[in-house]
A = this chain, B = another copy of it.
Amino acid sequence: MSLDPTKEFYREVLDNGYVKMLDVMGDDSSPDTDARISTGAAARSEDQRTTLIRFLLRHKHTTPFEGSVMKFEVRAPIMVIREWFRHRTFSYNEESGRYKQLDPLYYTPEKSRVSYQAKSNHQGSGELHPEAASFVVQWAEEQREFEESYNTLIQEHNVARELARLNMPVSHYSTFVVTGNLLNWFRFLQLRMEETAQYEIRVYATAIFDLARQYFPRSFEAFEDYWLEAVSLSRREVELLANMISQPITVECFAGAVPAPSPQFTKRESEEFRRKLLRMGLLKEA
């Protein structure tokens, strides 16, 4: 167990769920060390490490992030687990309804979560449903009814557990252990912290993000800057944008705007940015 007792390792999520960090291998120096095997470069200062981590994530050189690993225990509704387990590079062990009677824990959303179907996309509209309160009551009631039926089948009738769970609702909580390397986690977070992800998995992703970044603060900062908060423009959008900008950026303006070199924005990055703007037709060549 390599957890740091001074760091937070547990978060409650939803009404009965949680994420709990179990173990970690590596720290922010690991991607740097693993990447330097390629070049044989000598060990680095903190700033040089930051620079390298940021360079690697900026250019999607992802293998050096595969040598660091985090392991969590998670309790989540089956509906969330169904989405989570689509991430096939993680390793999982989950509680089994064949092997045990599952604990009587269900997810009942808060009233404020209950909205109309959105018209423009496949999600909730965000607009509170006026009958939200009654739906929540109804759902909780359905869950109680299932629980009673499930418990009776197992405890009184000794029906095989693998069948007694037949009508278990996907709001039922289950528990699993999940292990993945830093790249696996980045890919998961990239998809599940997006605003189009369903609320119920988004809160888990955010909890993971908060706990994980304590152990790899520079890697996660770079992940935010270059992946999570990046904006990608298609070939056509680049052309359109160039047409919409009436006054291209001058060389002087560019030089005046880019910050002084630092590990957060190196000279090399500044040069990459310049070439990107040129390619996009936004910068007037000298």
Contacts and interface: CB of A to CB of B under 8 A. Distances in A.
Interface of A: 2, 23-26, 34-35, 37-40, 58, 60, 63-64, 66-67, 69, 71, 73, 78-79, 82, 85-86, 88-89, 91-96, 98-100, 107, 109, 113-118, 122-125, 129, 131, 135, 138-139, 142-143, 145-146, 149, 153-154, 157-163, 165-171, 175-177, 179, 181, 191, 198, 224-226, 229-238, 240-241, 243-247, 249, 253-254, 257-259, 264-265, 273, 276-277, 279-280, 282
Which residue of A115, A145, A179 has the most chain B CB atoms within 10 A of its CB atom? A179
A122 B65 CA distance: 21
Contacts of A69: 25, 69, 179
A117 B165 CA distance: 12
A185 B169 CA distance: 30
26 contacts: A2-B25, A23-B25, A34-B93, A37-B176, A37-B177, A38-B94, A39-B100, A67-B179, A79-B168, A98-B123, A109-B163, A114-B159, A122-B161, A124-B162, A125-B160, A139-B166, A162-B198, A167-B170, A167-B171, A224-B235, A230-B234, A231-B279, A232-B232, A236-B264, A241-B282, A245-B245
Nearest to A199: B162
Contacts of A145: 142
Contacts of A115: 159-160, 163
